[in-house]
Amino acid sequence: MTKFYITALILCLFSELSIAQVYFPNKGTWEQKSPSELGMNSDKIAQAIQFAKTHESDANPNLKIAHYESGFGREPFGYPVGPMKTRGPATGLIIYKGYVVGQWGEPNRVDLTFSVAKSFLSTTAGLAVQEGLIADENDLVYPYMAPIYPYEPAKLMVNKSDHFFEEDVFELFDTEHNRTITWDHLLRQTSDWEGSLWGKPDWADRPSEGVAKKRARPQNAPGSVYEYNDTRVNVLALALLNIWRKPLPTVLKEKIMDPIGASDTWRWTGYENSFVIIDGQIIQSVSGGSHWGGGMMLSAWDQARFGYLTLRNGSWNGKQLIAPEWIKKSKTPTPANPSYGFMNYFLNEDLKQVPAAPKSAFLHIGAGTNMIYVDPENDLLIVARWIPNEDKAELVKMVLESLDK
């Protein structure tokens, strides 16, 4: 018995020592080291940074104009309904073994991150499981949902008798198909939820086969087909707001962003028409991206802190903020798309995202391209903003080559 306690004490002390050896930045600062101090090839890091700076996205920096010049602006109901802002230059950070070894552009600048916001959204789902608000992510969503009471001040000006037969509330999961959807289906973008939310029908998002065919096709069984769809992402955001009963940015701030020392400059917004009333409070339901405006605005430094949290398996300086089980599930391949886990964890198990990287690497990705590359095997983190999607793998490859001894 004495030997058992001694062994346990040694293991405990070793664990605490291991934690102490991992660097975590305090708020407002992040220690820098030269690449050579950490055994990296400084010339190759400089070449990687130069590559990123000279391979900036050629999309218009005015994101409203870029929206209408892209496929998003040609979609049915494709007009933005949330805030957008002109973006900054190509920007990024390289963090190795916890220390900043390279940076470029304007990492303090607060910009939209597009679908990187989905990784923050899925995190609030994981927190809901931790808090017991969701018993299991494989549960059906429908039993958790109360009727949604939209905040529509314009209705105060209309003649009530002209709208006598209109519902004052709406249900998110009231169709036969939608009642079979689980939280897991929403998180993996395999729900095929049917309906319209905030003026955006599900069939209007990226109807590559044409609107008529997309509207006419039968709904796929939940879990059977992967389809990237921001209307359904926003359904998840509203469903989570319904169970948290407070703004998701507040949840994220209290549970994640403040504990990891994020700045006070990040903002997570929704649309001009995405307000609901819960417990007598007017609350905006956020968007899980910037497809139609809104979403997550934050600096590259704050992106890096979130990425570093996922690199450290949800732990920050000895505190487990995200359950390791949730991180593991987030990185578990989706049967209908093995390159995707929970939103927006893009997996590299098939080596398609970054052929030069380990299979265990994963990426949080948004349009732009906005990228957080997370590599536990090499203890490496890369944030890159406004780089063409086809160039992101080359950038990572160049950084990985700097690790060769």
Segment 80-108, tens digit of pLDDT: 999 999 999 999 999 999 999 999 999 99
Closest CA to 337 of 231, 224, 209: 224
81 with 98, same domain: the answer is: yes
The helix (run of H) or strand (run of E) holding residue 104 is: strand 99-104
**Distance (Å, rounded) from C-alpha 405 to C-alpha 401?**
9
CATH classification of the domain holding 319: 3.40.710
Q: Is the pLDDT of residue 405 over 60?
A: no
Cis bond upstream, residue 344 (ω within 30): yes
pLDDT for residue 11:
42
Give percent of the chain above pLDDT 90: 86
- Write down how long the chain is: 405
Mean of pLDDT values over 226-232:
97
Strand partners, 270: 286
Asked whether 396 and 373 are in contact (CB, 8 A), the reply is yes
Residue 167 and residue 277 in one domain? yes
3-state helix, strand, coil in the chain (%, to 5): 35, 20, 45
Residues 183 and 303 in one domain: no
Judged against a pLDDT cut of 50, whether residue 300 lies above it is answered with yes
- In a 13 Å sphere around the CA of 46, the CA atoms on its Cβ side amount to 5
* Residue 264, domain member (yes or no): no
Question: Is the domain of 315 the same as that of 384?
Answer: yes
Question: Number of structural domains, the chain?
Answer: 2
Tokens of 265: 């400059």
401 φ, ψ (degrees, to nearest 5): -65, -25
Residue 221 sits in which domain range? Answer: 137-245+272-286
Q: Does 127 fall in a domain? A: no
Q: What is the mean pLDDT of residues 189-215?
A: 92
In a domain, residue 17? The reply is no
With respect to residue 279, please indicate whether it lies within any of the assigned structural domains: yes
User: What does the pLDDT look like over 260-288, one tens digit per residue?
Assistant: 999 999 999 999 999 999 999 999 999 99
Residue 130 lies in a domain: no
Residue at 347 is within a domain: yes
**148 and 278: one domain?**
yes
Average pLDDT over residues 318-341: 98
Residue 16 has pLDDT above 50, yes or no: no
What burial letters (b/e) apply to 53-68, b meaning 16+ CB within 10 Å?
eebbbebeeebeebbe
**Of the ranges 6-20, 125-139, 210-224, 266-280, which one carries the lowest mean pLDDT score?**
6-20
Can you spell out the DSSP letters for 353-369?
S-TTS-TT-EEEEETTT
Residues 153 and 278 in one domain: yes
Task: Report yes or no: 298 and 289 within 8 Å, Cβ to Cβ.
Answer: no
Strand partners, 319: 316
Tell me how crowded residue 320 is: count the other CB atoms within 10 A of its CB: 12
